[in-house]
Structure 1
Amino acid sequence: MEVEAGRPTWSRPVEFTLAGIGCAVGLGNIWRFPYLCYRSGGGAFLVPYLLMLVLLGIPLLYMELTVGQYLRKGPVHAMANVCPLLKGVGVAMVAISFIMCTYYNVIITWALYYLFSSFQSQLPWQSCNNTWNRANCTDRATNTSTSASTASQQFFNYRVLERTDGVEEPGSLRWELFLLLLLAWILVYLCIFKGVKSTGKVVYFTALFPYVILVALLINNVQLPGAASGIQFFIVPEWEKLLSVEVWINAAAQIFNSIGIGFGSLMAMASYNNFSNSVLKDTLAIAITNSMTSILSGFVIFSALGYMSYLQNIPVSEIAVDGPGLVFVVYPQAFLSMPVAPMWAVFFFFMLLCLGLDSQFAMVEVMITSLLDGYSEPLLSFFRRNELLVLAVCTGMFLLGIPHVMQVGIYVFQLMDHYTAIVSIMFLAFFEVVAICWLYGVRRLTSNLEEMMGRKPGMFFRLCWMVICPVLIVILVFSVIQFKPARYENYVYPAWAQGIGWLIAMASIIWIPLAALHTLWVLPGSFSEVIRRSVSTRPSTFLPRLSFTQPISKSLQSSVHSLLYEIHLNAKPVTHSQMIILTF
């Protein structure tokens, strides 16, 4: 770890790149992209998907990384400097990351359960001769009747979850899952308690290992009979589906949620970059790698599904399912048809563990960065050490995650995921784009990039920031307003549960109007003056371009620039050591 102007930085630029890839590439790449491709016309889905990547994903990621790296702050203080009126956008980013952290780790918990269950000669979901199986269990790869369910389905529902019939029945605590949830949070803590120093080292493994497993699985799967039919199902387009607005909305939403726009995670991690780090290079590396991973996952998943359809003589369309079932039901069933099934199961669920941990690192880092940016002195004086602060945050989120490891947990998980990862994030993204692209202004954002990189971004990015991205975000917001109510499989949540879901969604969004009212209340002057000041960036946001009378290295120029910025931004007296550096 290095320190630049009092703030730790990544030891090497590649550490941020890998951490960013780990943040973007997650469990959604494994199940959601292949399913959307299946539901939206196969290969035809790739057309809107790639267009949304170019017009929405890459420009907005470029924007977020620029703000984080230039201001060297987490989302809360960065957005407060960008636009005081919408400073609540940064608070909302932290709030949505906090809410997601409380339930996202349950996916890691399930992966740990399957991982430990796979260390035996016969996988526990291989037959229907177990104590948890119901009378309608079948060991075939798909249902043989409308009432039958596979052995893997029953293992997930009645052994792992022991789920009840609905959210109205909370049931009891699943102690096995409780202990695994505790283990999951211990793993997260051990990987991030030293800040970017520890995270930067862990990502060398957690970000790269999943690709080794995916490639190995693909090599194995494509050699199986029937794999070609599954791949054909995945890539052969149904061009008429392109006429459906839903397909385009799904493509945009997948890009949005997969990369993590609006969560503040990448903005927080970019704040630890060197001032002159190549933002565009990291943007392209993260966005393109994320999308290529989704496509690779599609080939892996559908080649396995093709093999299952060959064995059972059924269409692939009768096997593919949505939600966690694709990972925790269908793929475990596919392992049974593979040689050395327990070995592949161990590799696969360890890969899921790595993917889940990478995303969890990023969301926890948002909260830690924001807390230290705003309350560093009181927090460190109370906790004494940064490690204890991280421990307190992880402990709090572990306790809030306990409802997800009760028998009702899957219903709580689905409800929170629906209203947080879909509803909240769309509204949050709208206000983020308004704050940065319109109120802060594309001209200023361009000036910031030129200050760091020595050159302006191309006309394409400026056009996207000014027109294309805001228009696409508005379309997404209107689609959310007409969104279908949450459901899990055939279970429809009651009205009171839907109401709780909207309260969960508002728990993050409410900070935007509250912070705006606070800004208008505390600013002095007439109403017109208050409005003008509330949408204007703080004076410290822009610094004069530095010129040096003597040739010095680029790294030293970056350090001096960052030092001046910290002095202006924090309005603190220049220390003796800082004066020596500036004099030099």
Structure 2
Amino acid sequence: MSDAQSTTAKPEKREEFSGQLGFILSAIGSAVGLGNIWRFPGVAYENGGGAFLVPYLIALLTAGIPILLLDYAIGHRYRGSAPLAFRRVKRWLEGLGWFQVAICFVIAVYYAVIIAWALSFFVYSFDLRWGDDTAGFFTGTYLQLADVGGADPWFTLDFVPAVLIPLVLVWVATIVVLAAGVAKGLEKVNFVFMPLLLLAFGTLVVRALFLPGAADGLNALFTPDWGAMGDPNVWIAAYSQIFFSLSIAFGIMITYASYRKRRANLTSPGFVVAFANSGFEVFAGIGVFAALGFLAHEQGVAVAELEGLTGPILAFVTFPALVSQMPAGGLFGALFFGSLVMAGYTSLLSILQVVSASFQEKFGWTRAQASVRIGVVAAVLSVLAFSTTTGLVALDTVDQWANNIGIVASAVVTTVVVGWVLRRTEEMRFHLNSVSTIPVGRWWSFCIVVLGPVVLTSMLVSRIVSLVVDGYEGYAAWYLNVMGWGVVALFLVAAVVLTRMRWRVEPDRFDAWPTFGGKS
């Protein structure tokens, strides 16, 4: 639609974080999520152990931090959520912003379900309700998982009350916090949850280190396999881990940076957030593998012989089995699942803030209207798709395509368009250096223009080929087309449709500050 069809209604005064500490804690709260606890330790173990830390650190310095700072620069300079900020970079880029919003919405719909699982298991920790057969309890008693592809259909509306009830609680709490706003809602939750998370998980790590067999677990994790350094897949795994754990390239950090004051330091907090996130991942790895060493010791096997060393199986099958064999295991379990709830919840808030802010800006909704309308729709979809007996299979499939195709594709387009098509990298570097205490040099531009697109494109092509040729988890091809590629198609359709809709608030009356090269 043309700008002539836009109204010139005055938007609400833009919200802001109360200060740098509030921004840093909120950004760390977004970055530190479920993947830090259940993904990094297993990925490191499977990709060279201690040697994996070398490509991991290189990936952090050459992709993670540069793209994180690019998100900061775009959001802070153009003062908007992803659609508005990208539109102000170049009008036709608005669609990329809505593509990121669609990714965030879909991720939020299933991410809340995992938090609900963790909330259930937090309660179950006090009486060790999962018993001796933790795998049977998780997939059978708790999820009541259907035999999809076998005797049962791929999709049902058979709701699981044990998932449905905590899921509703998660959504109610999320809507309330989002409606409270950036400073009074998001920031306050992170002020409470981030120190609590560090305390809870720190207690868990210390306890794990003093368990019999802990040293065996740490040796398994950190003993370096230097031969793995020559495997390209190890490097792809390192870049993937950094990329997914920092909350970059799908609108979150653009939106968060837009809530900072005009004269706000960007680079120093960026380094703090990046290294805090990676530090927590290594810290989590120590705790998880010390505990796994104890489990292996109790079972009389090597750590390598344990099953379920990453992902939901690690969290909801392996760890409950470990907790059952520990002295005072209920407390250990409560600390672990409580940490999952807090880490997941702060990330969920950041994901939904992207969606809420975008709709507020385009359609003139108030904060409360956006929070309730978006939250209710997301909650209904969350319940219908993922709190049923087929929810786990749907969640697993959607997550693969949203993360490995949607987010990586978004990052490729962002770096290529900003770096190559529009040649705006130097403007973004100028902005970072104008407001920050730590300047970034031309190394940053090189990472954005050359290294980032090459690495990210390699990741994207590799994953597309794998999914097309090999499928995923043996699921039916038609199901992957609907729940996998269909979700990516949904992102594209949403981007086109939302871009074409009329702005209720004038988006283009804006001058970027500080001016660059005599023009904004």
Distance in 1 of aligned mates of 2:314 and 2:31? 20
CA distance in 1, matches of 2:110, 2:139: 18
- Inter-CA distance 539–305: structure 2 relative to 1 (3 Å threshold): same
**Alpha-carbon distance, 1:275 to partner:** 1.1
2:225 aligned partner: 238
Give the total of aligned pairs: 493
Tell me the amino acid that sits aligned with residue 371 of structure 2.
Answer: V
- Cα distance, 1:234–1:418 mapped onto 2, change above 3 Å: same
Shift of 1:174: 0.7
Q: Which residue of 2 aligns with 1:563?
A: none
1:300 maps to 287
State the match for 1:153 in structure 2: 135
Residue in structure 2 matching 1:265, options 252, 255, 258? 252
2:462 matched to which residue of 1? 479
| Alpha-carbon contact 2:265-2:437 (below 8 Å) kept | no
**1:71-470 equivalences in 2 (<5 Å):** 71-120=78-127, 123-127=128-132, 151-166=133-148, 168-171=153-156, 172-196=158-182, 197-321=184-308, 322-376=310-364, 379-380=365-366, 386-402=367-383, 403-438=385-420, 439-453=422-436, 457-470=440-453
Return 448-457 or 93-102, whichever deviates more. Answer: 448-457
Q: Cα–Cα, structure 1 residues 447 and 539, in superposed 2: closer, same or farther, change >3 Å?
A: farther
Shift of 1:315: 1.3
What does the per-residue CA deviation read over 1:126-145, in whole Å, with 9 as the maximum and x for residues that have no partner?
33xxxxxxxxxxxxxxxxxx
1:249/1:479 contact within 8 Å kept:
no
AA partner of residue 339 (structure 1)? P
2:251 is aligned with what amino acid?
Answer: G
Q: Secondary structure at the match of 2:15?
A: strand
Judge conservation of contact 1:85–1:515 (CA < 8 Å) in 2: no
CA distance in 2, matches of 1:26, 1:353: 9
Write the distance in 1 (CA, Å) between the matches of 2:38 and 2:145.
22
**Aligned residue number for residue 535 of structure 1:** none
Alpha carbons of structure 1 residues 316 and 370: separation in structure 2 relative to 1, 3 Å: same
Separation in 1 of the partners of 2:218 and 2:432?
A: 42
Partner Cα separation in structure 1 for residue 493 and residue 408 of structure 2 = 14
**1:466/1:541 CA distance change after superposition, 3 Å:** farther
Alpha-carbon shift at residue 88 of structure 1 (Å): 1.2
Query: Could you state the TM-score of these two structures normalised by the residue count of structure 1?
Result: 0.80
Q: 1:47 — aligned with what?
A: 54
- The one-letter amino acid of 1:336's match is S
| Aligned residue type for 2:333 | A
Letter of the 2:121 counterpart: Y
Runs of at least 5 residues in structure 1 that lack an aligned partner in the other structure: 128-150, 381-385, 520-537, 547-567, 570-584
1:371 maps to a residue whose letter is F
Alignment check: 8 A CA contact 1:83 1:435 kept: no
Alignment-derived partner of residue 575 in structure 1: none
Q: Is the 2:84–2:361 Cα contact (8 Å) retained in structure 1?
A: yes
Q: CA 1:190/1:540 → structure 2, altered by over 3 Å: closer, same or farther?
A: closer
Letter in 2 for 1:161: L
Instruction: Determine the structure 2 residue equivalent to 1:556.
Output: none
SS at match of 1:492: coil
Higher mean alpha-carbon deviation, 77-86 vs 422-431, is at 77-86
Are the aligned partners of 2:108 and 2:348 in contact in 1 as well (CA < 8 Å)? yes
Aligned partner of 1:550 in structure 2 is none
What residue is the counterpart of 2:486 in the other structure?
503
Change (3 A) 1:543 1:107: closer
Contact 2:416 2:449 in 1 (8 A): no
Residue 233 (structure 1) shift: 0.4
- Per the TM alignment, residue 220 of structure 1 is displaced from its structure 2 partner at its CA by 0.9
Give the C-alpha shift of residue 406 in structure 1: 0.4
Flag the 1:245–1:539 CA change in 2: closer, same or farther, 3 A: farther
Indicate conservation of the 8 Å contact 2:267/2:438, yes or no: no
Could you tell me which residue of structure 2 aligns to residue 560 of structure 1? none
Counterpart contact for 1:451–1:545, Cα < 8 Å: no
Q: Residues 115, 454 of structure 1: CA spacing in aligned structure 2 closer, same or farther, 3 A cutoff?
A: closer
Deviations 1:202-236 (A, max 9, x none): 10121222211221111111111111011000000
Normalized against structure 2, the TM-score is what?
A: 0.90
Which structure has the greater CA radius of gyration? 1
Relative to 1, partners in 2 of residues 1:5 and 1:455: Cα closer, same or farther, differing over 3 Å?
A: farther
> Counterpart of 1:199 in structure 2: which amino acid?
L
**Matches of 1:456 and 1:350, distance apart in 2:** 39
Q: What is the distance in 2 between the residues matched to 1:435 and 1:95? A: 19
- Tell me the SS of whatever aligns to 1:324: helix
Specify the SS of the correspondent of 1:9: coil
Contact 2:101 2:251 in 1 (8 A): yes
Q: Return closer, same or farther for 1:375/1:440 CA change in 2, 3 Å cut-off.
A: farther
Distance 1:539 1:432 in 2: 23
Calculate percent identity across the aligned residue pairs: 28
Greater alpha carbon shift after TM alignment, 5-14 vs 360-369:
5-14
Secondary structure of 1:482's partner? Answer: helix
